[in-house]
Amino acid sequence: MTYKLADDAYAALMVHLAIALKRIKDGDQITIDSRLLLEIKSSREFTLAAELVAAMAAQSSLEIPEAEIAYITMHLMGSKGRGSIYNDEISLLDDYRLVYLTRKMIETAELELGVYLEDDEELLIGLVRHLEPSIKRIKLKLEIRNPLLEDIKLKYQALFNAAQKCAAILAREENIAVPESEAAYIAMHLGSAVERKRQPQQKFRAAVACTSGIGASRLLASRLSKEFKNIEISSLISALTFDNKLVEDLKLDLIVSTVDIPQSKVPVIVVSPLLTEIQQQKINDFLSSHQARQISPRNKITLAEKLEIINKYNQGILEVLNNFMIYNDYQFRNLAELINDAAYFLTTEIESISQLAKDLQLREEKGSTVLKKNKIMLLHCQSKAITELKIAIIKPQYKFELKNKQGEKNEIEVVILMAAPLKGSIQGREVLSEISRLLIENSNFIAAVKNTDQEKIYAELAVHFDYFLQQKSMVNYYKEENR
């Protein structure tokens, strides 16, 4: 079984597994109610946990009891990530409640430790994801053991005291008795956040650009996030509608683009969406020879302004879900015919069809976007011919070959058609670009697309955008000014 977890959920799982191994090596045993164990064993998460444990046991020569596997299963059940295990019993309201509770805990920790932590999104998200399964375990009266408890109490007394104050908030809000072992886990999260504050890494603010801002830019952004931890991607932008004034407001250090932007006042590094090793070195050379731009202390936007941003994400998601179409057994003779038909699929007005076809053709002349491994072509653009986000999946009757600029042939099985309004919101383009992200990272979505399974595609989109919207709601938004 293969599965992908969001970065924060993956990191939390690694910590959980490391602590479980130490507990087993120390001879500590945990217990679990037999009826609960039977229920957990029937879940698909238990199968995944058992596979993880089998690999751990083979490498460590340890015998891992079923109770430990059950605890790992419960940890997975509490994880929510793109393409990850998703617990339908956790409602959107529950998540917001946990975010509210976690923010109160962080505020208390700030006062106790004298360290500003409110802007640490990694701490917020990590604690929220940790608290979900922890609260469940406490309410089920399952024992929570932390083999690092005594070390934390002895060596990190200030952190532990702050964590106990946080645990008191958790106990009061959830009407539960929070053990010291759980307070020690909270202390570990706080300690990581404090360490990040003490050792700040110079972060470069970058925008990722492609011709339209919705296709290749997302592929490139995923690669950049993976390869460069010292680059903060603040926006995905379109080279066609590039505006120096708008870009200046983003306070960027550089732009990484799939096409040249000669009018840019910000340094532009041109790369391919796949980001080769030579191109990575080119970026590294830039980072090592430049200083990140200094940004003044940031002021939070008002609640009304934040709700306006969230509403734009809401609107974009609704447009994607409502305008989603599938065309099976499609027949065409050449790329020009495919582009003309694609325009017709997205709009019915004659003038709009002509304009949209021109915009698709113009984007395609810059170079096709192909996901070689999955044999998927992205046909996309921004256009004044449409007023809403559009997405269609086209399954040709027969596979076809598409040549790139180097003359290489790529076999194509599915065409993903995406279009955004020329003057649409940044949030709308970001929503549409999430489709490209799913086509890279989510194996379930990829399989559903290749099978043109409308029900599964819609389900994967719904799960992903539910998580996406929750993440956007948790983020602190700021106004920024130069010093």
Domain 304-474, CATH number (from 3.40.930.10, 3.40.50.300, 1.10.4080.10, 3.10.129.10): 3.40.930.10
| Of 315 and 47, the one with more pLDDT | 315
- Residues 183-214 as b/e (b if ≥16 CB within 10 A, e otherwise) read bbbbbbbbbebbeeeeeeeeebbbbbbbbbbb
Q: Rounded to an integer, what distance in angstroms lies between the CA atom of residue 400 and that of residue 417?
A: 16
Taking only the tens place, the pLDDT of each residue in 336-385 is 999 999 999 998 888 899 999 999 998 888 888 888 888 999 999 999 99
Position 186 pLDDT exceeds 90 = yes
Domain 7-198, CATH number (from 3.40.190.170, 3.40.50.1370, 1.10.1790.10, 2.40.50.220): 1.10.1790.10
pLDDT of residue 360: 92
Taking only the tens place, the pLDDT of each residue in 435-456 is 988 888 888 999 999 999 999 9
Phi, psi of 274 (to 5 degrees): -85, -15
Q: Are strands 409-412 and 414-421 parallel, antiparallel or unpaired?
A: unpaired
pLDDT of residue 107: 92
Position 142 pLDDT exceeds 70 = yes
Q: For the chain, what are the domain ranges? A: 7-198, 204-294, 304-474
pLDDT of residue 388: 94
pLDDT of residue 181: 93
pLDDT of residue 187: 94
Mean pLDDT of 61-67: 82
Weakest-pLDDT range from 30-39, 165-174, 314-323: 30-39
| Of 104 and 239, the one with more pLDDT | 104
Q: How far is CA 64 from the centre of its chain?
A: 32
pLDDT band of residue 482 (cuts 50, 70, 90) is very low
Mean pLDDT of 226-232: 85
pLDDT of residue 83: 35
Position 433 pLDDT exceeds 70 = yes
Nearest C-alpha neighbor of 160 from the set 146, 139, 177? 146
**pTM to 2 decimal places:** 0.53
Q: Rounded mean pLDDT of the chain?
A: 83
Residue showing tokens 């891992």: 64
CB 209 within 8 A of CB 233: no
| Of 403 and 419, the one with more pLDDT | 419
Third-level CATH fold of 204-294:
Rossmann fold (3.40.50)
Structure tokens given for 222: 């995923």
Q: Rounded to an integer, what distance in angstroms lies between the CA atom of residue 307 and that of residue 286?
A: 37
Q: Are strands 324-330 and 299-300 parallel, antiparallel or unpaired?
A: unpaired
Nearest C-alpha neighbor of 359 from the set 313, 418, 437, 425? 418
**Residue 375 burial class via C-beta count within 10 angstroms: exposed 0-12, middle 13-18, buried 19 and up:** middle
Position 297 pLDDT exceeds 70 = no
Residue showing tokens 């605890």: 71
